[in-house]
Amino acid sequence: MLKKLLLIVILFSAFLLNAQVTCVPVFPGPDDNVVITFNANEGNRGLVNETGDIYAHTGIITDASTSLKDWKHVKFQWSVNDPSVRLLPLGNGLYSLNISNIRSFYGATPNEKILKLAFVFRNSNGSKEGKTAAGEDIFYDVYSTGSALKTLIITPTTSTIFTSVGQNISFKGAASVSSNLTLTDNGSVIATATGAKELIKSIDITTEGSHKVTFKAETGGNIDSSFFSYVVPVQLVPADPPVGFELGANIKGDSVTLLLQAPNKQNVFVMGSFNDYKVDTKYQMRQSVDGKTWWLTIKGLTLGQTYTYQYLVDGLTVADPLSTLVLDPINDNFISSLTYPNPLSYPTNKTTGHVSVLEIGKTPYVWKNSNFTRPEKKDLIIYELLVRDFVNRHDYQTLIDTLAYLKNLGINAIELMPINEFEGNESWGYNPAFHMALDKYYGTPDKFKEFVDKCHENGIAVISDVVFNHAYGQSPLFKLYADGSNPSINSPFLNVVATHPYSVGYDFNHESEFTKNYVSRCLKYWLTEYHIDGYRFDLSKGFTQNKSTEATASNYDQSRINILKNYHQVIQSTTPGAYTILEHFCENAEESELANAGIMVWANVNYDANEATMGWTGNGLSNFSAKKRGWNDTRHDKHIAYMESHDEERLMYKNAQFGNSVAGYSIKNDITIALKRMELISSFFYLVPGPRMLWQFGELGYDVSIGFNGRVGNKPIRWEYFTDNARKRLYNVTRNLIALRKNNPAFKTINYTDADLATGYLKAYHIQENDFNATILGNFDVAAGDINPYFQKTGKWYNYLTGDSITVTDKNAIIRLLPGEYRIYTSVRQPQPPGGYVRYTVTSTDDFANEVNEFMVYPTPSVSHNMLIGYNLSKGGNVQWSVYNMVGQPVHFSPTKSLPSGSYQDELNVPLPTGTYLIKLTVNGAIATKKLVIN
């Protein structure tokens, strides 16, 4: 089916693709000598004005090719500048390539059927490419002996021409064999030739409107035809669009009003499934009085029906830059129907490239948690994740099924890496194509809404990572104003050259009113349509027109401040209290000014935290004092600290690669010790006031390098870590620390002392709020050490994580800490941690035997979902059980219960699909596992 679909696309697009390449002979056979002429002025114009040599990267499509990407017999690798594929410059952007016998040149066997020649043209170092206008490979058909009658339009070289009355169009068409040739304009015959292979005609333009010119060849009962269109636009009087409409599509009942900002363009038409993708003056857009905006109202659409559409702008076909959903003719074919059920069909044989989607009269999603109260900024515990690398099915439904795990951990916000339409499917998402369209690779719009709704039901805010520093080549904003492979000098959206040294893609000009309108529209849309709770702006340092170097990019920039404040105000005016978070990393004066406006900024503590976990904290190498930035205490609620994000090397990976080691204590070689170091750093990280963020699976000690499979390549999904006792212990410690800071207001105070966090191996941190005090101690050395705890008072102190207590008679009495040991003392006993008390050593099977006399799951195998979990507690204590599938993903958690000794029987009444599961029983931190089979 896929191969058939690709062949349809090939046949439809052949005329468009051949516009950049002509061939002599026009209808080459597989054993012909041919001359290929490449026109660098056509297509993407990536090689326009190239002064150096140009080479053909070329191969063939044969009957063995599975797709247009499956080139056979490729001549030389991309970087090889072989003279046999160097083009001869002819002047005026034209280049030629002589191919002596197609089959011999490519090395095809006599039995292979050659269907097409395939090309990408490039400069000598491969930095510039000549491809189609859509950025695709270029193909030219090859005709076998006895092929059916074929026609080809040689000129004009584009499928749609805009012209005016009084002009003329030079036409030249060819047939593969001598035939009776006819040329018609909207059905009226304008030229004929008998027994000819070629027809030439100058077509006079006499009337306004849309014209289809058809070139037909007929011989011996065989007929073939090709066509192109020309349009004489109607002279519409400029007028402003109706008041109250936004840029993009505005659906009202059975009509839609489309608004496109495209200044300095001459004519814009709408093509879509409502007019069979024909260029029709009935769908010609009217220009606003100021010339900046084009608009059209289309009435009489069918309620409940989904339509697709594109814009034709001065002959260039693009999707709506402000699409809310797009169809991709290539990448959509690889999206699972489980992830995106019942996908809309692409308008094959009607158009090419991305198309925009219109859903007329769609039943709106019914929100169940529309009154969600967002966590205060200072209380945020954000869990950053990439859907693709977090759940195996990379979809929102699986995320919904995993919310119990995250809620149990205690986080109150999820930050999703970009979910708007990006190029391809497998991506981190920082290559945006359409900023306002949901990428279908992760699921449907309604399923994403359900995910947000479920998050809110569980007290979790949803933050979207957005990329407004740049756009990529598939973006209509680039295509509309492209000059070859770069934005044109008159682009109202993009800079020809980025103003800062960190940019990728095409850099936005955020001082342009058009960029501001575009970004503001996108920001408002996601907040209102999907009820998300805020944004994290990627590379916000780049939102400036002031040119900089790496040495100056972080300097105070008033223009950048003004731009970001403006976007923040757009967010606040749309959804008061929504979060604005910046990946900024500029000087304190600028970040403080932004913080004073209510904006939060990222604060990377990865280096210092990792030096500490690896045991290299001496000589001031690890300073994770919250005050080291020099900010006032009142700014800590705007300073989102993180030990790991998507951009940092994983702490546990570096522990295993570079950890300090001495006899009897090796961070590098003992994973249990390395994980305990993560507990140690977490006890300081989570208990400092201010918002915090963790990267997916950090709570389980994820230890796969960021460089695995390439930086942005797929990473292993490690749900099985949750079944490992030492890793589950880290999860529970993290959970307990989050619970302590969330449930005790003292950990939100600015009354703390962290001077001892700056230097040395032995670190202490103190909190004092009213009658409550806390002292956190830790030894980051690889040897035991003595620390002065500086307790704030004498009396009883309680170890929060273990439940033990000590009586302090001397506030400065030295405490000896083992390497990697940490203690969290509070002057008031806290409730038992939700993850249970933990020992300083990892629990073993013997530990479980000391807690439980008996543990069973029955009946199994079973055809019922009503299982019983039986256990006999020898001592009593904190009990929880959980269910996992065989890839380690959590399916169900029971509430944590504090029980006395005795026998218990719990009912597991959860609908589970047929399969094998693991039941884990945790008692006082000790764990045992039983298998459960559902037939």
Residue 622 burial class via C-beta count within 10 angstroms: exposed 0-12, middle 13-18, buried 19 and up: buried
pLDDT at 844 over 50: no
Output the pLDDT for position 4. Answer: 35
Output the pLDDT for position 16. Answer: 36
* Calpha distance 722→737 (Å, rounded): 18
Residue 643 burial class via C-beta count within 10 angstroms: exposed 0-12, middle 13-18, buried 19 and up: buried
The CA dihedral of 573, 576, 578, 584, to the nearest 10 degrees, is 50
* Calpha distance 831→739 (Å, rounded): 10
Helix (H) or strand (E) holding 13: helix 2-18
Nearest to 687 by CA among 593, 624, 614, 606: 624
Residue 279 burial class via C-beta count within 10 angstroms: exposed 0-12, middle 13-18, buried 19 and up: buried
Six token digits for residue 566? 């403006």
Residue 860 makes CB contacts below 8 A (sequence gap 6+) with 867, 931, 932, 933
Output the pLDDT for position 628. Answer: 59
* Calpha distance 921→410 (Å, rounded): 20
The pLDDT tens digits of the residues spanning 383-423 come to: 999 999 999 999 999 999 999 999 999 999 999 999 999 99
* Calpha distance 235→240 (Å, rounded): 16
> Cis bond leading into 242, ω under 30°?
no
Nearest to 893 by CA among 908, 911, 877, 872: 908
Query: Looking at 5-9, 152-156, 240-244, 377-381, which range is the least confident one?
Result: 5-9
Please give the C-alpha separations between residue 804 and each of 38, 152, 796, 836, in angstroms, as whole numbers.
80, 87, 11, 13
**Exposure class string for 113-141: b at 16+ Cβ within 10 A, else e:** ebbbbbbbbbbeeeebbbbbbbbbbbbbb
pLDDT at 305 over 80: yes
Six token digits for residue 770? 């009213």
The pLDDT tens digits of the residues spanning 593-646 come to: 999 999 999 999 999 999 999 998 765 567 766 665 665 544 567 889 999 999
Are 845 and 928 contacting, i.e. CB atoms less than 8 angstroms apart?
Answer: yes
pLDDT at 579 over 80: yes
Output the pLDDT for position 932. Answer: 78
* Calpha distance 363→931 (Å, rounded): 44
Residue 175 burial class via C-beta count within 10 angstroms: exposed 0-12, middle 13-18, buried 19 and up: buried
The pLDDT tens digits of the residues spanning 735-779 come to: 999 999 999 988 887 777 776 776 788 999 899 988 899 999 999
pLDDT at 34 over 60: yes
Six token digits for residue 458? 């569980």
| pLDDT bracket for residue 2 (50, 70, 90) | very low
pLDDT at 541 over 80: yes
* Calpha distance 653→668 (Å, rounded): 9
Residue 187 makes CB contacts below 8 A (sequence gap 6+) with none
Output the pLDDT for position 798. Answer: 96
Six token digits for residue 443? 């699921």
Please give the distance of CA 408 from its chain centroid, rounded to a whole number.
Answer: 26
* Calpha distance 477→261 (Å, rounded): 10
Output the pLDDT for position 367. Answer: 98
Output the pLDDT for position 865. Answer: 62
- What is the chain's mean pLDDT, rounded? 91
Mean pLDDT, residues 824-844 taken together: 81
Q: Which tops the pLDDT comparison, 872 or 365?
A: 365
Output the pLDDT for position 19. Answer: 61
* Calpha distance 148→154 (Å, rounded): 19
Output the pLDDT for position 14. Answer: 34
β-sheet bridge partners, residue 316: 313
| Full strand arrangement of the beta sheet holding 88-91 | 21-24, 34-39, 94-99, 88-91
* Calpha distance 858→880 (Å, rounded): 17
pLDDT at 1 over 50: no
pLDDT over 70, % of the chain: 93
* Calpha distance 79→30 (Å, rounded): 27
Are 668 and 660 contacting, i.e. CB atoms less than 8 angstroms apart?
Answer: yes
Backbone φ/ψ region at 411: left (φ over 0), alpha (ψ -120 to 50), beta: beta
Mean pLDDT: which of 349-353, 608-612, 651-655, 854-858 is highest? 651-655
Question: Residue 243 corresponds to which amino acid?
Answer: V
Please give the distance of CA 245 from its chain centroid, rounded to a whole number.
Answer: 29
Residue 285 burial class via C-beta count within 10 angstroms: exposed 0-12, middle 13-18, buried 19 and up: buried
The pLDDT tens digits of the residues spanning 329-348 come to: 999 999 999 999 999 999 99
The pLDDT tens digits of the residues spanning 157-195 come to: 888 888 999 999 999 999 999 999 999 999 999 999 999
Mean pLDDT, residues 636-664 taken together: 93
User: For residue 23, how many C-alpha atoms fall within 13 Å in the half-sphere facing its CB?
Assistant: 25
